[in-house]
Chains A and B, each alone.
Chain A
C-alpha cells in the first residue's frame, strides 16, 4: 500500500474519496515510510501516529456516512516545526523552546488544511529560528538531500522539502523569509510556492522577521500546490498582517486553455552570479516561454543587502532578551548573527525601508511589460553538507549566507513566486523561480502548470533507494 505515497496529493484524495483506499491506510503508509526513510534523511523532529490514525479513521467514517471529507481527504502532510500544532511544543528548530508550553491550538493554516481533510503526520527539521539556507542544525542535526544524502536539502525549510522529495508525504508547509521555501525546493527538485506577503495567515507561526515572513508550501505537482493553497487562503482576524482579500481559488483555473503570457528573463545580478546549471535551467524555461532580451533590474544587489540587514536587525530585536540571558543555548551560527544584528545602527534600517519601496516600484514598472519574470532559484545544485564556500560568478564566497542570493531580493518586496524543478537529465535537481506581480499567484501557478504539462519541469524521484 505504500505505493500510494508515490501518487501526488490530488490522486491520493481522489482514491480516498472514491473508496479505492482508506485514509487510514494512507496514513499508515506515510508513517511506515517515515519510520523507514527518515533515519537516513533526518526530515522529522516528531511524528504524531496516534493522532494521525484517529483523524484518518474519522475521515473514513465520514465517507462511509456519505459526508464530504474535503478536497484533501486523507492526504498526509507535515509542517516545519515552527507551526503551532495543538498539544505540541513549537520548537522553531531550537533547544531554547524545548520547555515552552505546548500550543493551545493549531496555526490557522494547519487548521485549514485539516478542515480540508488533510492528515497531519509530523513536524519537520529546520534551521534554528529559520535563520539559514542549509538546515544544518547544531541541535537536531542536518536534513539530508534525498538525491544525495551527503548533500544539503537546503533551508531553512529543509526537512519539509526533503520529506516531500523522498515521498514520505505529498505535501508540507514551510516558511520563506529570504528564500527558505525556494532554496530547498530548488535543491530537492520539487515545487514550492511562496505567495504574496500577507496572503496566508501567520497566526500560530513562530516569527523570525515580521517584515518578511511568508507562509508557503511544497508539493510534487502544481495541482497539489494549487489545491492546498486554495484551502489555506482567506482573511484571518487572528493575524493583523494577513490581507483582508477574499479567497481567489486557483485550482480550477489550471485547466483553462492556455493564455498568452509575456515572460521576461532576469539578467544582470541573476545571470552574473549563476553557475552553469542555474543559468542553463533559467535559459531553458525562458526560451520555451518566449522570453526575449534579459531584463536587467536596477538595485538588485542593494535590495539583497537590505534584506540581509533587515533580517539580522529584526531577528536580533525579537530575540534580544533571550540572547542576553541564554546565549549558550543558541546554535552558534544563529547566535553570532543575532548579536551582530543587534549592533546595526538604525540609520541603516531606516534606509532599508526607503530602499524597499523604491525597489518594489522598479518591479512594478517591469511588470508593465511582463506578466511573469524568470530567474534561477539557487546559484548551484545542492552543495555538500559542511561545504564552506561556493562560486558566485568568479568570486568564491561563504556558502551559507549566499545560497539565497537570487531569492532574497524578491521576498524583500513580497512578490508571489513558484519554484519549479527543471528536468535536465543531470544527477542533481535545480529550480527556477517564476515571479509574478503582487497578488497574482494564479499567473505564476498557471505558467508553472503549463511547463509541467509540456514536460519541461516536474518531479523526478531520487535515484537512490532510501528504504
Chain B
C-alpha cells in the first residue's frame, strides 16, 4: 500500500470514531483494499429491478 492510501484509510477510520493504531495501518489498508475489490464486484453486478430484500433471509 502507498503512504497516501494508508493515510486515506487512517483518515476515514478516525472520522467515524474507529482510530487505528499506526502499527496496524499497513495491514488494515491492505485488507481494506482487498475488500474494496470485492465490493466493486458486488456493486457492478446489474440486478433485475426488485423490491428491497426481505428483512429475514429464507434459504
Contact = CB atoms under 8 A, between A and B. Distances in A.
Interface of A: 196-198, 211, 299, 301-302, 304-306, 308-309, 312, 320, 323-324, 327-328, 332, 335-337, 339-345, 347-348, 351-358, 360, 398, 401, 413-415, 438-439
Contacts of A343: 9, 12-13, 16, 18, 32
17 contacts: A197-B57, A304-B38, A309-B38, A327-B24, A337-B31, A340-B28, A340-B35, A341-B35, A342-B18, A343-B12, A343-B32, A355-B47, A356-B53, A358-B48, A398-B34, A414-B57, A439-B59
Interface of B: 9, 12-13, 16, 18-21, 24, 27-32, 34-35, 38-39, 41-45, 47-48, 50, 52-54, 57, 59
Contact of A339 (B18, B41, B54): B18
For B21, B24, B31, B42, the residue with the greatest tally of chain A CB atoms inside 10 Å of its CB is: B42
A334 to B, nearest CB: 10
A335 B13 CA distance: 14
A20 to B, nearest CB: 42
B42 A344 contact: no
A258 to B, nearest CB: 27
Given A351-B43, A352-B42, A355-B42, A401 B34 contact: yes
Given A327-B24, A348-B42, A351-B43, 9 more contacts: A302-B41, A304-B38, A308-B35, A309-B38, A312-B31, A340-B32, A342-B13, A413-B59, A415-B59
Most-contacted residue by chain A among B29, B31, B38 (CB, 10 A): B38
Contacts of B39: 305, 309, 344-345, 348
B35 A344 contact: yes
B21 to A, nearest CB: 6
Nearest to A415: B59
A299 B57 CA distance: 18
Contacts of B31: 312, 336-337, 339-340
A345 B18 CA distance: 14
A339 B20 contact: yes
Contacts of A439: 59
Contacts of A327: 21, 24
| CB-based closest 10 A-B pairs | A414-B59, A336-B27, A305-B38, A340-B31, A353-B53, A305-B41, A340-B32, A438-B59, A339-B28, A302-B45
Nearest to A352: B42
A354 B52 contact: yes
A415 B27 CA distance: 33
A308 B38 contact: yes
A207 to B, nearest CB: 16
Contacts of A320: 18
A354 B47 contact: yes
Nearest to A306: B42
Q: Which of B12, B13, B24, B44 has the most CB of A within 10 A?
A: B24
